[in-house]
Amino acid sequence: MYPEKLLDRLRLISLAKDCGFTLLEIRDFLSGSPEAVITGSCESLIKIIDQKHALLDNQIQNLVEKQKLLAELRRELLHPHKQAFRAFLP
């Protein structure tokens, strides 16, 4: 029905979308030759994936820090001796 190379390309696009790549990012790394992308001789794609991975690591670290701060704020508000904190609340 469809050529196998085209199906491989569509699977790669679907996987890249699932990994959080935008369609513009996918277009950029697919702008090389289709054979290079599908056969694995694509160092630039690996570099882009590594950059996305590092960005996600950074975002996760930031979210974990925010989670800790929220837990700290909750603890502060629950302790009765922290009335000074509550003075700023309505």
Segment 4-28, tens digit of pLDDT: 988 988 998 999 999 989 999 888 8
Q: Do 30 and 37 touch, CB atoms closer than 8 A?
A: yes
CA angle 80, 84, 85 (to 5 degrees): 80
pLDDT digits (tens, 9 = 90+) for 53-65: 999 999 999 999 9
Q: Where are the domains of the chain?
A: 4-86
pTM greater than 0.75 (yes/no): no
d(CA 66, CA 88): 21
Q: Which residue has the higher pLDDT, 40 or 55?
A: 55
Work out the percent of the chain whose per-residue pLDDT is above 90: 40
